[in-house]
Amino acid sequence: MNNPLNLSDLEMNVLQVSVDHMVEHLEDLCADDTNAKISLEAFEERGVNLTRLDAAKRLRRLFAYQATSPLEAVKQVKEAMK
C-alpha cells in the first residue's frame, strides 16, 4: 500500500522527501565507523543509527512513489498556497 494514511499528493511528497533526507543523513552517520572501533559509546550509537536507518528504509518502501495525475498535483499545490 503506497498511501495507507490517505494523504494528499502534496503531503505524500513532503513525507517522501523527508524520509529520503533521513535515510541519507543516517547513511552518512553510519558510513564512518572509525570511532565505533575505538569507543564503546560510539559503537552503541552506530548500532542505534543502523536500526534507525533500517526503519527509515522500511518507511521509504511503505510510502514509495506512486504516479498520480499531474493536474491533480498542481491543483493541490495551488490549494495549499492559498
Query: Would you state the cell numbers that stand for residue 70, as one nine-digit string?
Result: 499531474
Would you say 77 and 10 are in contact if contact means Cβ atoms under 8 Å apart? yes
- Predicted confidence at residue 23, as pLDDT, reads 94
Q: What's at 65, amino acid-wise? A: Y
| Residue with cell string 552503541 | 44
- Predicted confidence at residue 13, as pLDDT, reads 86
Low-confidence spans in the chain with pLDDT less than 70: 1-4, 65-68, 73, 76-77, 80-82
- Predicted confidence at residue 68, as pLDDT, reads 64
Instruction: Quote the CA–CA distance of 19 and 23 in Å, as a whole number.
Output: 6
- Predicted confidence at residue 54, as pLDDT, reads 94
Instruction: Quote the CA–CA distance of 20 and 61 in Å, as a whole number.
Output: 10
Would you say 45 and 26 are in contact if contact means Cβ atoms under 8 Å apart? no
